[in-house]
Amino acid sequence: MGDLIAPRSLLEIDVMQNALQMSGWTSVRARPIYLVWHNNGHSCRCCQVQGSELILLPYPLSRHPSDI
C-alpha cells in the first residue's frame, strides 16, 4: 500500500467509525482504508460486505487474494 500511504506517514485512526462507506469514492486513492482487528491480529485494508460477511480487499497491485 506504499502507493497510497507513504512511509513515515502519520495516520489518524477514528475509533468511532464503525460502518463501511460502500460507495461514493472516485478513485482507488479516495477509497477508505480500514484498520480491522481480528483473531489473527489486525489488517489495514479496503473492505466490502457480501451478505453477512466482511471481505478484506487487498490493494489492487499486491497480487494477494481477498481474505474473509
Check pLDDT > 60 for residue 67.
no
Which grid coordinates belong to 37?
482487528
CA distance 42 to 63: 19
The predicted pLDDT at position 19 comes to: 85
Model confidence over 27-66: pLDDT tens digits?
Answer: 877 888 888 888 989 888 888 889 999 888 887 777 666 5
Tens of pLDDT, residue by residue over 5-33, are 788 888 888 888 888 888 888 887 788 88
pTM score over 0.95: no
> Measured between alpha carbons, how far is residue 34 from residues 3, 22, 61, 64, 65 in Å?
16, 12, 18, 17, 17
Separation between Cα atoms, residue 63 and residue 37, nearest integer Å:
22
pLDDT attached to residue 29: 79
